[in-house]
Structure 1
Amino acid sequence: MDTHAMEEARQWLADRGVVELGDGWTDEEGPDRPLTANEIAHSWAGEVFSDGSRDVVEQVRLAFGLLDLLDEYWVTCEIRFEDRGTEGPLPAGPLWDGYRRRLEADRDAEAVTYSLWVDWFEDQDTAATAFAEVLGNDIDRIVVEASPAPLRRAGRVLACSGPVPWPAKQAAYDTAARLPALHEPLFKGLLAGYHDVYGQLEPTAALALLARLQLPADTPHLPQLRSVLSAGHRNHYLVPPAWDDAARGSLD
């Protein structure tokens, strides 16, 4: 979280008649009608990129300040719309630094991880680049240094990385497996790689990686995942009965 950017966003809204009031928001058009953070995000997040008094780097910073302030997924949608729209792409440095910093913050990051999962990672045009920017480019350093904030980022990214193409994430997965602190989120990434409709994994390589993870024996879905990978299945939606068969087998 960037406290300065958040306060800048608060002032930017106030200059437009939008102010925080108790647990909600209000604006000059209806000062007696409380508004939710989600309503403010839908009304104003896109307007950030129309603010001609700021250059594009300042607009990106302000947009992430709004994300910190409102904690609403829709703000990330507007950031992506701008990046992928006719005026895009946004400058990569500020864009991905904004994601990395919020993934490292010691606060809830659900809006950011959901954005990565359903927007950047499920889109095969952006998945490899996005994954590299938020984790793949520096996973070696993260594992060696094992500092809390970068580890927090790595765990969050791994857990939502199921849709990322296997060739784009395999090296990072292999590196992450060297650090037991990342084994649980890495398992979540593998599990999502199998179950997500856009999930991506290679059964043989994923099975070998799974064997390296130090996980409690009672980890939910561990036997089933091992079973379907051993049978050569790569995605739940290709052979839906395989998972149920594996679940029944684990109970026998």
Structure 2
Amino acid sequence: MDEEAMADALRWLAEEGVTRVGDDEWTDGRTPGERITGSDVAVRFADLVFTDERLAPEGQLRLAFGLLDLLDAYWVTCEMGTAFADPDFGLPAEGLWNGYRQRLEAPGIGAAVTYSLWVDWFEDRRTSAEAFDQVLGRDVARLRAGAPEALLRRAARVLECSGPVPWEVKERSYRAAARLPELHPALFKGLLDGYTAVYGDLDPAAALALLTSLSLPPDTEHLTALRTVLTAGHRNHRHSPHAWRAACAGASGSVPDRPPA
């Protein structure tokens, strides 16, 4: 989180008549006595950041990220993505991805950051390759023993939500992560999501080879089931919906209602 950007966002909201009055309680000055949540604030005001003519595009992005840090509201990322996709706004790509990288490396992170990567950037095949490269792929050569803690935090968070990224885009980063035991739990989550998520993507043989190389507790949830479906050559739950249920039943004796989210 960027404390200075958060303070700027708080001041900007005050100029718009919005003030914080409690824990996730705000008032926007429109209805006396009304209390709204941070998500409400985002829905009502986040789009105004990108029409604030007092700020250059770089300043608008910085303010938007400050608002995201302050509210941890997914809607802020939606407005950022909409404005970024419109060339009329002129938002700089480097500013957008620097903002994401900075938050992915921080000790604490809001849930909206990784959720937006997953559903808005990684699930969309028009943006997934560029987004993954910007937040992790371009730094794959730095994923080695002795890598900075901040980079490892970023890598772990990206790997965990990388299931929808096309296999050919993420495989090199996955292989690099497999060489670092501290990234094995995150890589396992990425592989699992690559199989169970609706838009997940993986190559069964290559994914199985990586899975076999990971140092994980043998009782890791879904480990045996994932190994079973990959060994059978299944690429994704949506293509073989009964395979996952059968694998889970064989591993634990119980059948889940649905694959893990």
TM-score, structure 1 length as denominator? 0.96
Where does residue 77 of structure 1 map in the other structure?
Answer: 78
Q: Summarize the alignment of residues 1-252 of structure 1 with structure 2, pairs less than 5 Å apart.
A: 1-23=1-23, 24-87=25-88, 90-251=91-252
Q: Matches of 2:147 and 2:182 in 1, distance apart?
A: 9
Task: Give SS of 2:19's match.
Answer: strand
The Cα offsets for residues 37-59 of structure 1, whole Å up to 9 and x where unpaired, read as 11100011111000011110110
Q: Matches of 2:166 and 2:129 in 1, distance apart?
A: 7
Counterpart amino acid of residue 155 in structure 2: A
Task: Give SS of 1:145's match.
Answer: coil
Q: Matches of 1:12 and 1:125 in 2, distance apart?
A: 33
Contact 2:105–2:150 (8 Å) recurs in 1 = yes
- Cα displacement (A) at 1:11: 0.6
The Cα offsets for residues 190-240 of structure 1, whole Å up to 9 and x where unpaired, read as 000001110000001101111110010101111111111111100001011
- Cα displacement (A) at 1:88: 5.3
The Cα offsets for residues 117-165 of structure 1, whole Å up to 9 and x where unpaired, read as 0110000000011011111111321434332222111111100000000
Greater Cα shift, 183-192 or 103-112: 103-112
- Cα displacement (A) at 1:247: 2.1
Aligned residues: 252
Check 1:112–1:152 CA distance in 2 against 1; reply closer, same or farther (3 A cut).
same
Q: Matches of 1:81 and 1:50 in 2, distance apart?
A: 13
The Cα offsets for residues 4-47 of structure 1, whole Å up to 9 and x where unpaired, read as 11101111111111111122111221232111111100011111
Structure 2 stretches lacking a partner, 5+ long? 254-261
Contact 1:177–1:183 (8 Å) recurs in 2 = yes
Q: Matches of 1:55 and 1:144 in 2, distance apart?
A: 40
Counterpart amino acid of residue 175 in structure 1: A
Q: Matches of 1:37 and 1:110 in 2, distance apart?
A: 14
Q: Matches of 1:248 and 1:144 in 2, distance apart?
A: 38
- Cα displacement (A) at 1:105: 1.5
Q: Matches of 1:245 and 1:74 in 2, distance apart?
A: 38
Q: Matches of 2:110 and 2:27 in 1, distance apart?
A: 25
Contact 1:103–1:109 (8 Å) recurs in 2 = no
Task: Give SS of 1:143's match.
Answer: coil
